[in-house]
Amino acid sequence: KKPMKTKRKLRIFITNTSYTNQSKSPGDQLNSEECQTTWELKIEGRLLDENGQVRADPRAPKKKFSSFFKSLIIELDKEMYGPDSNFVEWHRNPQTQETDGFQVKRPGDKPVKCTINLQLDYQPQNFKLDPRLGRLLGIHTATRPVIVTALWQYIKTNKLQDPIHRDTIKCDEYLQAIFDCQTMKFSDIPFKLNPLFQQPPDPIVIEHVVAVEPGETKSVTHWDISVEVDDTLKQQMNSFLLSTVAQQEIMSLDQKIYETVDSIKALKTKREFMLSFASDPYGFVNKWLISQSRDLKVMLNIEGDPEEERKADFYQKDWLKEGVCRYFYTKVQQRRAELERDLGVRQLGSGTSSGN
């Protein structure tokens, strides 16, 4: 069953805050070692409504921000934090607890360049196509059924299907370069497509600079990306179909549909009958009588052609004389056999009497 999905905009908020830690009371003197500037990076997100506003849809169940992604990797400036602590990674696993955002905290008093890699969790799974096939079909990333449908559309548009052997595809120069064959069977398409699927699809890459300034500061930037979410209509349909009253209503509507279809078919037949009669009454009546005669013969199991046999010309044909001769010859032979049989019995009886 095809999943019901709809495209929505997910707005990603990237918030960074910097502040100075103070380990003593405000009146005490602080040295540089006791004052340490720290920055904090938060990554959160909210779905936008149809008007592009951040509002919760009361009809849809709330989804956590992390549920849209398969993995998140934040790469910090290697020169500032070294090769061992410049990566922050999160990967989905069966035991993952969903969260509304991600947070990273590090010490530092200078602006920090970071790269945020977000890998979307496509449901159903999406594939990145080989660049050659992607350019040919006009697809970069899509599900397997969408890719196969696009390839089939390309085959039909360019008339690459063999007219005699319908299960064979004649590859043009582009498909020959991609699949390395001149012909291929329809059943071979899934196997030939597998090497052209590149996993995973390209991640979403966001370049961000964590601004660190004296005192407590806060800055927010946002990015909009497209994501797929379950259609709210799906939940409404499920609740409707599970209702007993709805089931009765569906059965009633189905019955009305059947009756309407039968009525349409009957009216269509009647209309075609009237149009044919109006366009050629004489020819229509002849055809109709021939059809009725044929049906009557089938129903009554009648052999021959009764209509033709009613005419005098039928008995003036050349074959009739031969048929009559054969008939009388057969009757004469039958009568002769009967006479011979009767005479033979009598002769046998008379011979027995003379012997006695």
CA distances to 76, 105, 250, 322, 329 from 217, rounded to whole Å, are: 20, 14, 61, 121, 126
Summarised one tens digit per residue, pLDDT across range 281-309 is 999 888 888 888 878 777 777 666 666 77
- Confidence check: pLDDT of 230 > 90: no
The whole-number pLDDT of residue 30 equals: 47
Whether the ω angle into residue 281 lies within 30 degrees of 0, i.e. cis, is: no
Q: Which token pair is 301?
A: 């199991």
Contact status, residue 85 vs residue 119, Cβ threshold 8 Å: no
Phi, psi of 273 (to 5 degrees): -60, -50
The whole-number pLDDT of residue 207 equals: 93
- Residues near 128 by beta carbon (within 8 Å), at least 6 away in sequence: 134, 140, 141, 197, 198, 199, 200, 201, 202
Summarised one tens digit per residue, pLDDT across range 13-55 is 999 898 886 554 455 554 545 567 889 999 999 988 877 777 6
Summarised one tens digit per residue, pLDDT across range 112-166 is 999 999 999 988 888 889 999 999 999 988 888 889 999 999 999 999 999 888 8
* Residue in 2, 34, 52 with CA at minimum distance from that of residue 222: 52
User: Does residue 98 or residue 300 have the better pLDDT?
Assistant: 98
- Confidence check: pLDDT of 1 > 50: no
* CB atoms inside a 10 Å sphere around CB 123: 14
User: Does residue 236 or residue 145 have the better pLDDT?
Assistant: 145
Contact status, residue 212 vs residue 37, Cβ threshold 8 Å: yes
User: Does residue 4 or residue 166 have the better pLDDT?
Assistant: 166
- Confidence check: pLDDT of 234 > 70: no
